Amino acid sequence: MITHRSYTVEPWCVRETALGLDVLAQSESVFALSNGHVGWRGNLDEGEPHGLPGSYLNGVHELHPLPYAEAGYGYPESGQTVINVTNGKVLRLLVDDEPFDLRYGRLVAHERVLDLRRGVLERSCEWTSPAGTTVRVRSTRLVSLTQRAVAAVAYEVQAVGGRSRVVIQSELVANESLPEPGDDPRTARALKSPLEPEEDVAVGNRLRLVHRTKRSGLRVAVAADHTVTGPGRTTTSSESNVDVARLTVTSVLEPGETLRVEKLVAHGWSGARSRPAMSDQVEAALAAAGHSGWQGLLDEQRACLDDFWARADVEVDGDEEIQQAVRFALFHVFQAGARAEQRAIPAKGLTGSGYDGHAFWDTETFVLPLLTYTAPDAVAEALRWRQNTLPAARERAAQLGLSGAAFPWRTIEGSEGSAYWPAGTAAFHVNADIADAVVRYVAATGDLGFEAGTGVELLVETARLWRSLGHHDTHGTFHIDGVTGPDEYSAVADDNTYTNLMARANLLSAADAVERHPEAAARLGVDEEESAAWRDAAEAVHLPFNDELGVHEQHAGFTRYQHWDFAGTRPDQYPLLLHFPYFDLYRKQVVKQADLVLAMYTCDSHFDDEQLARNFAYYEPLTVRDSSLSACCQAVIAAQAGHLRLAYAYTAEAALMDLADLEQNTRDGLYIASLAGTWTALVAGFGGLRRDGTGLRFAPRLPERFSRLAFSVQLRGSRLRVEIGPDKATYTLLSGGPLAIRHHGTPLTVNGDGPVVRPLPPPPVRPAPAQPPHRSPKGR
């Protein structure tokens, strides 16, 4: 978007200076507001024109049968798709009987601003109707980060030049028409009229609709209240039917007079509560929001974000686009998890219906690291959601003939939603990714109560899975065969290095946790023999290595595969999965996304510097980055290997993935993991952040383009600020007790006595690795 002529580059906002109908759907994603529970796409207030209408409640979905040409034991039976719930954003406007539609008449000016400090979307425009009447419209929209169920809009119309008869129709609308989905498999299935009506109410300025989904049986309630301010001749009336509740506000405005409507909208859903209970719930939420009032909601929003930015801001000197992009990323990642509260953080957050609204391993591996060091409460809630879905994961493991829990590859409510088992069922590494998130959170927070109540159960059940999934050979080596690692162009392979290393860490962490929490271990039926078996398996895990090439194999035998014909692959044949059969991809040396390279980041202690450099040089020419998850990982390892220019290029790709619509799917929603990857590329890449037991270590170095990089992290109640210049790093304790850290391997303690300054060693000098033809980093 920031490459579009209508968008400016500014440090604390995203500004659209003219309405670009050619990028309307993309802008709706960019301007989306959410709190992790409620999500409103950035549709125009009047509802039309639109790209993709979107109002979402986290967890609200509909079921549909999964198609199979041939039945097979263990295939998931039904899929889940996020649905567009009752839309409370709509404020239709008529001016002298002409609908306010920006496709008609003359649009004199139009500007929208996503204010990252205040957490609001502001809009101002001036429009002359086909009949020659001119009005100015201003609106401010927010989804409350402090009142979980509440979103709100303030909408103003001002007459310009002459008297205007104005009508505002504030609506709740269910079962909106949606555009037909495209051919992209990431696009959500369109479900027509998924909501069945149960109640519609319009009394005075209050509106309410209650519906229930047809198959999943979820009840959705949305209510609205209004404060109307205008000339004395302003009148209101309300009405409702099964899918629309409407407040109509009518006024005659003299030049300079303004009609203002403040709309508070409350949302709720449940699979268990009754219709009266749901009605009461949203009415109570409205009452609380009304007590705060519009200005109170604005003040609460700003205070919440002031606190977040004090903990999370990343400052980049030398590249204005990346500075804007990283703050945009931090804002949207925080929105995605702030009030999710034991619900998933979907791949697209609540910004669009892409990926059917599913959550993947992306959450634990890419999103939760950022939140662990900036907003850890959101991490605990996301992991409690995984714990809540353990019954479905245990059932899935038993169905597959395994012990413990097999968490789903993609899901909304906890059951497996992937119909393609080589990429879905076989991608068992999601279980170790969840365990890794548990260990990271506990190490960063010291929250032993969480570990005892939630963490141990997740660690134990995933450890049991690995012990039953793998096996010892006649030499005692532990193998995990027939799995799919992060690279989805290599499926059902033996001894995937990433999977094996993550499983190893999972097994050891589970054994350590049950020693710390014997009561929890007894409750889960873990004895010394079982935990000893986990340790034995972990210590004997096989890591495939090609001695001739001197590199680790992505999986056993990978380096003997035929190389992909990159020279014969046209630029328009990427992504490869849309132009070549998986059967062909699975048999060749071609990598969709960082896999072995990701292992070197997440399990770095198993690779020395020379191995890391050789591995990176080998896999870089094979990696086509047909996934937006890849660039940030490659940025991290490129920086560690000393390829700072390449790391900078990959950082730019990760940062601009959505803002520049590099994958051509921003219209379906923002990719929250790639947004989080911007932080990863900067903080773990150029900051060199790694977990070091219960502490942290840093190995900072900057690319030529940056003159300064600064960020903060939270660790065990303390807040550390890291500021990196071209030749030195400064560590400052902002709050809390002293922290023991490492700087390029050297231990140091940061306390309240003042900043600690250390020089930066020069990066290693190595030949720059090549990328596949036509696959150089995007964005620069």
Annotated catalytic residues are: 488
Query: What are the DSSP calls for 94-122, one per residue?
Result: EETTEE--TTSSEEEEEEEEEETTTTEEE
- What 3-state class would DSSP assign to 440? helix
Q: How far is CA 264 from CA 149, 229, 279, 517, in A?
A: 10, 15, 15, 46
- What 3-state class would DSSP assign to 417? coil
Query: What are the DSSP calls for 520-589, one per residue?
Result: HHHHTT--HHHHHHHHHHHHTB---EETTTTEE-SSTTGGGSEEP-STT--GGG-SGGGTS-HHHHHTEE
HSE toward the beta carbon, residue 423, CA cutoff 13 A: 15
Residues in the chain: 780
253 neighbors 231 (Cβ within 8 angstroms): yes
Q: Which amino acid is at 75?
A: Y
The token duo for 194 is 């998924």
219 neighbors 275 (Cβ within 8 angstroms): yes
How far, in whole angstroms, is CA 442 from its chain's centroid?
21
Q: How far is CA 202 from CA 170, 244, 753, in A?
A: 12, 10, 63
- What 3-state class would DSSP assign to 434? helix
181 neighbors 51 (Cβ within 8 angstroms): no
CA angle centred on 236, ends 232 and 238, rounded to 5°? 175
HSE toward the beta carbon, residue 207, CA cutoff 13 A: 33
Query: What are the DSSP calls for 496-536, one per residue?
Result: -HHHHHHHHHHHHHHHHHHHH-HHHHHHTT--HHHHHHHHH
For residue 757, report the phi and psi dihedrals to the nearest 5 degrees: -115, 135
Find out whether 592 is annotated in a ligand binding site: yes
- Rounded Cα distance between 245 and 74, Å, is 44
The token duo for 465 is 């899975």
- Rounded Cα distance between 292 and 588, Å, is 60
* Helices 672-679, 644-655: crossing angle, 10 deg rounding: 140
Find out whether 362 is annotated in a ligand binding site: yes
Find out whether 348 is annotated in a ligand binding site: no
531 neighbors 510 (Cβ within 8 angstroms): yes
102 neighbors 188 (Cβ within 8 angstroms): no
Dihedral of alpha carbons 763, 768, 772, 777, sign: positive
- What 3-state class would DSSP assign to 291? helix
- Rounded Cα distance between 552 and 166, Å, is 70
- Rounded Cα distance between 655 and 171, Å, is 37
Find out whether 593 is annotated in a ligand binding site: yes
- Provide the strand spans (E) within 77-189: 78-82, 91-95, 98-99, 106-115, 120-128, 134-143, 150-160, 164-173
Q: Which amino acid is at 30?
A: V
Cβ of 12: how many Cβ atoms within 10 Å? 17
Annotation: binding site: 361-362, 592-593
Residues of each annotated binding site for substrate: 361-362, 592-593
